[in-house]
């Protein structure tokens, strides 16, 4: 029987140690970007955007009659923006494409779970506020199921690139370098300026 020793998993550990935190921080960032873009498109003033490694992100806007659209914009933008970014990365055949496919899937799953599994009725979460504004619960659940399913679809077949499964591939040093560079850039950016606006 073939035995696996811990030292063989060091590249996987190094990759996960950077990429999972990167996915978590940027999932929140693109979610807030979705809010901001929708608010600006609706002619609503964005008062504050908070991005920090130590707390949940949030976007504060002035009163708007388009509040429902702004709330939906976070989840929709948080799903669409990463997928577009991944497709562009893939189109131009940039290295470590599997990382950004994983990231796009992560954002889909996280946004879907955030909406589909949140049964609060008044806020302060987006789903709770949407429900309070009249959005049917089934619409949130359908969105959640669809987004999570799409995310799992993107994740399917990625195990080999992480050195896992029946046909594991070697984790390249370039992938680890990209992961850590991206994570540190996002982490330091949020440390330096937790409040964007």
Q: Locate the DSSP E strands across 70-191.
A: none
CA distance 58 to 15: 28
The reported pLDDT for the residue numbered 150 is 99
For the record, the structure tokens of 138 come out as 């089934």
For residue 23, CA distances in Å to 74, 77, 119 come to 16, 15, 24
CA distance 115 to 78: 12
Q: How confident is residue 49, by pLDDT bands cut at 50, 70 and 90?
A: very high
User: What's the N-to-C CA distance of the chain in angstroms?
Assistant: 58
The reported pLDDT for the residue numbered 123 is 66
Give residue for tokens 């008062």.
Answer: 47
**Rg for the chain, CA atoms, rounded:** 18
User: Which residue, among 192, 140, 191, has the nearest Cα to 21 in the 3D structure?
Assistant: 191
For residues 68 and 34, the answer to whether their CB atoms sit within 8 Å is no
* Secondary element (H or E) of residue 106: helix 97-116
For the record, the structure tokens of 189 come out as 């950016």
For the record, the structure tokens of 6 come out as 């811990």
For residue 6, CA distances in Å to 13, 16, 21, 47, 172 come to 10, 15, 22, 49, 18
Question: Rounded to two decimals, what is the model's pTM?
Answer: 0.92
For the record, the structure tokens of 61 come out as 């806007």
For 145-188, the pLDDT digits (tens) are 999 999 999 999 999 999 998 899 999 999 999 999 999 999 99
The predicted model gives 94-113 an average pLDDT of 98
The reported pLDDT for the residue numbered 3 is 45
In angstroms, how far is CA 180 from the centroid of its own chain? 17
């Amino acid at each position: 029987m073939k035995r696996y020793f811990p030292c063989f998993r060091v590249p996987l550990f190094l990759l996960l140690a950077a990429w999972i935190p990167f996915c978590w921080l940027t999932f929140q960032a693109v979610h807030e970007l979705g809010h901001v873009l929708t608010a600006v498109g609706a002619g609503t003033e964005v008062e504050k955007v908070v991005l920090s490694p130590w707390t949940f992100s949030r976007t504060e806007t002035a009163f708007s009659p388009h509040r429902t659209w702004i709330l939906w914009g976070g989840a929709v933008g948080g799903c669409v923006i990463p997928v577009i970014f991944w497709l562009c990365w893939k189109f131009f055949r940039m290295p470590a494409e599997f990382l950004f496919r994983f990231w796009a899937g992560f954002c889909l799953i996280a946004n879907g779970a955030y909406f589909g599994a949140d049964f609060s009725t008044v806020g302060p979460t987006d789903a709770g506020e949407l429900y309070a504004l009249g959005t049917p619960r089934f619409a949130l659940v359908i969105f959640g199921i669809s987004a999570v399913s799409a995310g799992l679809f993107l994740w399917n077949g990625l195990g080999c690139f992480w050195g896992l499964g029946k046909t594991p591939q070697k984790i390249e040093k370039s992938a680890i370098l990209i992961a850590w560079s991206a994570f540190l850039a996002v982490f330091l950016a949020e440390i330096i300026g937790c409040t964007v606006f």
